[in-house]
Amino acid sequence: MARWATGGGREISMNFPSPTARRLSAPSIDPLAPTGRAAAIAEQQLDVIWRMARRLGVPDCDIEDVAQEVLIVVVRRQDYIEVGKERAFVASVTARVVANFRRTRRRRREDPSDELEGFASARSGGAFGSGGSGAFGGVDAEQNVERSRQLARLERALDEMTEAQREAFTLFDLEQLTAPEIAEQLGVPEAAIVSRVRRAREVFKRALAREAELCGAAGTHRSDE
């Protein structure tokens, strides 16, 4: 069992070897174990994983699952992560894991029972500020509602981007990685990253403008009633 904590006091623990770890590991690799370097990277970068997942709309009740998937990749690839580039590596892996999560969640939306199960899980985990030990425990309910609205707006904007644009936008604008860092981690030319970020920003601005227009129209409609 390995356990790490974020700067905000949240903890994540992992058992090695695990069925998932064995499934993801190459046949030539022994069952995974968190070595000293992998554990150090996890401890230093867990806040990055948590922050990115929340910014990209992953519900708090699912963030630990996302973080575990990212850390499994860290353990698998620890010998190939260049010193000084740990954050860029973790951020790029997190972007891809979250992208997979978003695709899976979109498919699950077709089944209402999955949504109800997720809602129940969030409630039992204290995600709605009931004063328990959950991620939102003790936070004002209005702040939870506003954060949910912001995440919903962000997610709608991200959904309008291509996967490549969303990945570049997340790493460049949200995590403040440089274009060369992103290009190296993703294995694409730097010019392609710059182009993706530019187009993603255009999509994002259009989405925000449309949201503002809809909110303005709704406000005008209410005032006329």
Give the span between the Cα atoms of 140 and 144, in whole angstroms: 7
Give the span between the Cα atoms of 58 and 60, in whole angstroms: 6
> Which position has the higher pLDDT, 10 or 133?
10
Span 160-225 CATH architecture: Orthogonal Bundle (1.10)
Give the span between the Cα atoms of 13 and 3, in whole angstroms: 4
55 pLDDT exceeds 60? yes
Which residues lie across from 13 on neighbouring strands? 3
Give the span between the Cα atoms of 204 and 129, in whole angstroms: 30
87 pLDDT exceeds 60? yes
Q: What is the mean pLDDT of residues 137-160?
A: 74
Give the span between the Cα atoms of 177 and 194, in whole angstroms: 12
- The contacts of residue 188 (CB under 8 Å, 6+ apart) are none
User: According to the model, what pLDDT value does residue 57 have?
Assistant: 76
**Per-domain residue ranges for the chain?**
2-139, 160-225
If pLDDT is split at 50, 70 and 90, which confidence band does 103 have? confident
216 pLDDT exceeds 50? yes
User: According to the model, what pLDDT value does residue 86 have?
Assistant: 93
User: According to the model, what pLDDT value does residue 189 have?
Assistant: 95
For the ranges 57-66, 86-95, 110-119, the lowest mean pLDDT is seen at 110-119
Tokens representing residue 6 in the block: 């974020």
- The contacts of residue 192 (CB under 8 Å, 6+ apart) are 183
205 pLDDT exceeds 70? yes
What's the pLDDT tens digit per position in 123-140?
444 443 434 444 444 556
Region of 187 please: left (phi>0), alpha (psi -120 to 50) or beta: left
Please give the DSSP secondary-structure letter assigned to residue 78. Answer: G
190 pLDDT exceeds 90? yes
Compute how many other C-beta atoms are within 10 angstroms of the C-beta atom of residue 56.
Answer: 21
> Which position has the higher pLDDT, 181 or 35?
181
Tokens representing residue 85 in the block: 């580039």
**What's the pTM value of the predicted model, to 2 decimals?**
0.63
